[in-house]
Amino acid sequence: MYDTLTPDKQSIAKRIYNTGTSTAFVRVDMLEVNIDKSGKVVELPLKELSGNSLQKDRLIVTPLRMIIPPGGFQSVRIMWPGDRSFEKYYRVRFIPVLPKTDDGFGLSNKEVDDYRKKALSAGLNVLSGYGTLVIVLPTKPVFSTQIESSSPSAIRVTNKGTATIVLENIRNCTSAGTECDSAKRLFILPGKTKVIDKSKGRTTLFTLIEGENQKKLRF
């Protein structure tokens, strides 16, 4: 999953659902994603803010702790209040946990013990969370995508702009479009090139996403 903070947005809202049969205690983890010139990805954890102060030049997620009843949901807001001179990347994870004393959920020792006893009596507990990649676009993103499709075996897509582009729903299909391979997705960072394999006798389909603009293409 991914979310994009376009230049006209300082925040986005997400709903976190609890589809289980017991109360969910959810912790939010944030990591800054750095990509060097060689393409190596380094993820660095962000420390939690102390107090209610708003710090610029870092991603803000609130709340960082959620107690969600069975079948319920809670809204989370992801904000970027800082500089947008260049594109930035963050990974946000929503992780269900077994509560502990003084872990930010505000439970007493008795409440923690009661919850853990109920969880253990259930026999099997499956804690399943998910994450999203947050892309913070620059103030004035430039989109310049170059597509080379003359080769019979591959399509080369180069991002010559200043913001990430997305190739969504990439498929190789029969000419009639009735039979297709499993769909794939590619992120192409500024200055990078990705290659999509072609299949002889089949048509390659995908949607090019540049910010809020989408274009369906076939080769």
Query: Which amino acid type is present at position 26?
Result: V
- Shared fold status for 2-136 and 145-218: yes
Residue 119: predicted pLDDT: 63
Dist. CA 172–CA 197, nearest whole Å = 9
Contact present, 217 and 205 (Cβ < 8 Å):
yes
Collapse the DSSP code of 127 into the 3-class scheme (helix H, G, I; strand E, B; otherwise coil) and give the result: coil
Kindly state the tokens that stand for 149: 């499709």
Q: How many other CB atoms are found less than 10 A from the CB of residue 210?
A: 18
Query: Does residue 125 carry a pLDDT above 60?
Result: no
Mean pLDDT over residues 77-91, rounded? Answer: 91
Quote the pTM value.
Answer: 0.80
Residue 124: predicted pLDDT: 47
Fold of 145-218: Immunoglobulin-like (2.60.40)
Tell me if the domain spanning 2-136 has CATH number 2.40.110.10.
Answer: no
Q: Tens of pLDDT along 127-177?
A: 667 889 999 999 999 999 999 999 989 999 999 999 999 999 999 998 776
For 1, half-sphere exposure in the C-beta direction (CA atoms, 13 angstrom radius) is 10
Q: Kindly list the domain boundaries of the chain, sorted by start residue.
A: 2-136, 145-218
Kindly state the tokens that stand for 201: 């006798």
Collapse the DSSP code of 180 into the 3-class scheme (helix H, G, I; strand E, B; otherwise coil) and give the result: strand
Residue 16's beta-bridge partner residues?
74
